[in-house]
Amino acid sequence: SGALLEVVPACGNPESILRRLNRSLHAVVEPGLFVTAMAVMLDTRTHQIEIACAGHPPGLLKRADGSVVALEIDSGIALGPDDNPEFGVLKHTLAAREVLMVTTDGVDEARNLAGEELGTARVIQVLAESAGATDAARRLQWTINQHAGEARQHDDLTVVTLERCK
């Protein structure tokens, strides 16, 4: 997080954020370790989002008609091991009532006591049934908690939702 405080203000787009973070991490990450990341920028004037992905799931978009689609972005290469990795990059202009949801892989891989994963289909269902970004995040948290029950959390669970209301 300290590197982000230094890097983000100096970068003009998500891909440059990931490239600068990778340079810092490549110098210190132990062999076999890596960091996944996604950088998202929103232009509040034009409603354009720009996403760069380094090893994260691509994210989901709930369209105004209620349909949910996976973002057409390559997941890219995680930060650290490679000195010049390729990142997935996507630009999209949010239409009115569209909801963007990005998560870490720990969300769809959340396991219950039987070892069953929550799965991408359940995440898509939650987003499809939601009434906006806040509702989607709350419903997903509830769904994960119900699914996992008393099972031990094995990975981070991060969810970011963004909605264009008008």
* Tens of pLDDT, residues 1-22: 777 777 788 888 999 999 999 9
The DSSP symbol for 132 reads S
pTM of this prediction?
Answer: 0.90
Weakest mean pLDDT among 5-9, 132-136, 144-148: 5-9
Q: Answer for the pair 159, 140: CB distance below 8 angstroms, yes or no.
A: yes
122-132: b or e for each residue (b if 16 or more CB lie within 10 Å)?
Answer: bbbebbeebee
- At 3 the pLDDT is 76
Kindly report the number of other CB atoms within 10 A of residue 71's CB atom: 18
* Tens of pLDDT, residues 46-61: 999 999 999 988 899 9
* CA distance linking residue 56 with residue 161, whole number of Å: 15
